[in-house]
Every structure is written in structure tokens, then in C-alpha cells.
Amino acid sequence: MKKLIFILTVFAYQAILPAAAQSNELMANIQALMSKYKEGDYADVLTLSEKMLIQAEKEFGTNDPNYAIILSIVAASQAEMGQSGPAEKNYLASNA
């Protein structure tokens, strides 16, 4: 169920983002993370998404939907790894 919610959340964000706000590289990286997430490689997804989050913050700021997408990936990975406290905090922040 968590995987379904995660995937739907990411697809919903992608649908509402204007094309100009999405870089091809960023979208490719998000797709790669989604593939790794579906495979259950949560530790790798968490490491990569945390790095992408820093990049997205510098490039877009924390109020941008691109940042929110990546933050939701961080939260979903944390949840899958049993890090419920940080996962909840990040999930709520991604939907603020």
C-alpha cells in the first residue's frame, strides 16, 4: 500500500508541474529513483534522494513542487526502512 501511495504521489506532482519547471535530468533522476524504489532498494533510494534534495533546494528552493517530489521520495524511503519519525516529518513537509 505504501508503494502505491508513493507512486501516485509522485505521478500527481509530475502532472501538475509546468514543463518549463522540470529539467530533463531531474525527471530522469526521479524516474530512476522510482524504479529503484519499486525494486525495494530503499537504502540506495534514500541516499540518492537526499543528495537530489540538496540540489533541488539550491536550484528551486523549498517551496517548489520539484523539491516536494524529492522530499516525498525521501519520506517514503524512510518509512520503508522503519524510520517513521523522520518519514512523517518529511511527508508532512512535502505536502505543506
Residue 63 is given by DSSP the state: T
Cα–Cα separations (whole angstroms), residue 47 to 17, 25, 74, 75, 88: 24, 18, 9, 12, 18
* Dist. CA 16–CA 48, nearest whole Å: 24
pLDDT in the model for residue 19: 47
Residue whose cell numbers read 522510482:
34
pTM of the model: 0.77
Burial of residue 55 (CB within 10 Å: 0-12, 13-18, 19+) is: middle
pLDDT tens digits, one per residue of 14-67: 554 554 455 677 778 888 888 898 899 999 999 999 999 998 899 889 998 888
Whether residue 86 is predicted with pLDDT greater than 80 in this model: the reply is: yes
